[in-house]
Amino acid sequence: MNFSLVIPTRNRAQALRLTLQHLAQCSYPFDEFEVLVVDDGSQDDTSGVLQEWAEKLPLRAFTQQHGGTSRARNRAIEEACGRHILFVDDDVLVPPDFLQRHARLQAAHPGHLVRGPVVNVPRPLYPPLPTLQQPWKHYSKNYLCTSNASLERRLLLQAGLFDASFARWEDAELGVRLKRIGVRRVFDLDTFVYHWKPSMEHAQRLQVAALDGQAAAQLYRRYPTLRMWMRSGLHRVNRWKTRFLSQLPLPPSLRRALEVEQAYLRAGLEELRR
């Protein structure tokens, strides 16, 4: 078996159903991949969705008490039978040739991490998916992104899997360890997915920004290099910029964006002071 697709989920039955619907449209041979869904203590109809698609996909489902996405992904990796792990999330919509593209790239670049664009969309998309226009706009510097990435299972085991102490940015932390053991990355603009990401209320955006700031600080504390410090955005130049902008008469949309940035910085710096 070539691929084990890893999908953690919790209380997102509607999104999960749509993800599985798109995977069922894949033109890749069903005996060459498996879909591993780990239910992280859902309280909605996730179990019903998994039963619904169990006969339509090479699907294996597991349940665990709520422990977070890192523990869920690690469980799936441990259970996987495929040579390669292919990460998608429970709100990711893949085109029919998605697995074929990853397979060709893995064959051409053995031992590499293969990535492609992740295109956020505010509403669900149903098959057939539109062709991605201007894919270069969605190039990402993130080394590992769990919405669209594949690599050999042995490399993940060698690197040590996900660190469950990271509530967010756990993929960035694992990416550092993969680079340290010599895993190189291939980014292919044609190997894209759509990510169903509904718009959030401003209060929710502030909460997410604070969690991201804490994760950035945690990542820098783990790897205290100048490059990681600049990447975190917690440095003095960024703080000066936000302080300067806060004194300007900004329109409401820019003011809200600035408040999100301030929430990120405030939470990150507080985390560093602990």
Spell out the residues 6+ positions from residue 268 whose beta carbon is closer than 8 angstroms to its own: 213, 214, 216, 217, 232, 233, 234
Least confident of 72-76, 100-104, 131-135, 263-267: 131-135
Q: How many CA atoms lie within 13 A of 116 on its CB side?
A: 26
Nearest to 146 by CA among 113, 189, 182: 113
Q: What is the pLDDT of residues 230-251, one digit of tens each?
A: 999 999 999 999 999 999 999 9
Specify whether the CB–CB gap between 169 and 145 falls below 8 A. Answer: no
CA distances from 96 to 45, 159, 170 (A): 26, 31, 28
pLDDT the model gives residue 263: 97
Pair 230, 157: CB distance under 8 Å: no
- Quickly count: other Cβ atoms within 10 Å of residue 226's Cβ: 8
Question: What H or E segment, with its residue span, contains residue 220?
Answer: helix 202-222
Residue 96's φ and ψ, nearest 5 degrees, are -60, -30
What value, to the nearest 5°, has the Cα angle with vertex 92 and ends 45 and 7? 60
Query: Which pLDDT band holds residue 274 (cuts at 50, 70, 90)?
Result: confident
User: How many angstroms separate the CA atoms of 112 and 217, rounded?
Assistant: 28
What are the pLDDT digits (tens) for 61-100?
Answer: 999 999 999 999 999 999 999 999 999 999 999 999 999 9
What is the three-class DSSP state of 40?
A: strand
